[in-house]
Amino acid sequence: MAMNKKTLMALVIVSVSLNVGAQVHHIVGGDHGWHPYTDIGSWSSATTFRVGDKIWFTHSVAQGRIAEVETREEYLACDVSNPIRMYSDDSDGISLDGEGVRYFTNTNSEKCKNGLKLHVEVVSEARTDTTTPEVTSEGSDKVIAAPPESWWDKNYGFQLYMSDPSGNYAGWKAAAIGANNQAAQSMLKQDYRDEITREEAVQLALKVLSKTMDSTSLTSEKLELAEVFLSPSGNVKYQVCPPNALSKLLVKFGLTQPAAETS
């Protein structure tokens, strides 16, 4: 059935075994990355780092390794003689697990003194902005469209990603986009829990749609339900629920009335 024949309120995504909220992944340097010509200091000053976020260094071996140092004095002097930790992979993700200031420098002294170093001040994980980003073709937040096989990550499972103008992106474990998305997001945050099962996730997604779609009753003619899952072989699969099966689910969860029997 063509999408324009449906009453489409929003896209609701509920991920199993994950929690609601946004974990922000900061690409150090934004669009320019970890490079000598990037103004790392200005980028850091304009970015808010919270407990639970993660920073990513995208760099090449030729640029030198990255050292985390303990003190401000070591950071300012580009002194990497006694580092807390060294990072040498091409792309290092570092979790910000607690409040406070952390210092990172390039192990190449000349590059470090030319500005290739970073300090981050990590603040409380509490967030005042809890609304889900809307899909938009211009402006600030944008949902990242990607093929289903890229929706799963070995560390974070299934998530929907949103990017902002600075190049940072956040992963949502339960999200809604489109009309009435704020009301939908409020329900998701209230009812979602870490131990949610697959059936409960389907029920929650349908419940949110039933409360926020501009329709008095949900039917398989008005919406479409799809599931992205990881097969036992480790492959990401995409499956659309057949209309008759969707109708049965709506009846089972009390979201529509059974079809009247014909005499």
Give the pLDDT band (50/70/90) at residue 102: very high
Residue 56: predicted pLDDT: 83
In tens, the pLDDT along 188-227 reads 888 888 778 878 888 888 888 888 877 667 788 888 888 7
User: Longest Cα pair distance anywhere in the chain, in angstroms?
Assistant: 87
Distance of CA 261 to CAs 56, 216, 236, 257, 258, Å? Answer: 59, 21, 39, 12, 9
For 84, phi and psi rounded to 5 degrees? -70, -40
In tens, the pLDDT along 121-130 reads 998 864 433 3
8 Å CB contact between 134 and 177: yes
Q: Is the per-residue pLDDT at 93 higher than 70?
A: yes
Instruction: Find the helix or strand (DSSP H, E) in which 246 lies.
Output: helix 243-252
Q: Is 57 helix (H, G, I), strand (E, B) or coil?
A: strand
In tens, the pLDDT along 34-87 reads 887 888 888 888 888 888 888 888 766 567 789 999 999 999 999 999 999 988
Q: Is the per-residue pLDDT at 7 higher than 80?
A: no
**What's the pTM?**
0.46
218: tokens are 């949900």
Q: How far apart are CA 180 and CA 131, in angstroms?
A: 11
In tens, the pLDDT along 216-257 reads 677 888 888 887 777 666 677 777 788 888 888 888 888 875
Domain with CATH 3.60.20.10 in the chain: 3-20+130-252
Any idea what DSSP says for residue 155?
T
Give the pLDDT band (50/70/90) at residue 11: low
Span between the terminal Cα atoms of the chain, in Å: 29
CATH no. of 22-123: 2.60.40.420
Residue 84: predicted pLDDT: 93
Domain with CATH 2.60.40.420 in the chain: 22-123
- What CATH fold (topology level) applies to the domain 3-20+130-252? Glutamine Phosphoribosylpyrophosphate, subunit 1, domain 1 (3.60.20)
Q: How far apart are CA 41 and CA 132, in angstroms?
A: 29
Q: How far apart are CA 210 and CA 201, in angstroms?
A: 14
Residue 64: predicted pLDDT: 74
Q: How far apart are CA 220 and CA 245, in angstroms?
A: 9
Residue 75: predicted pLDDT: 96
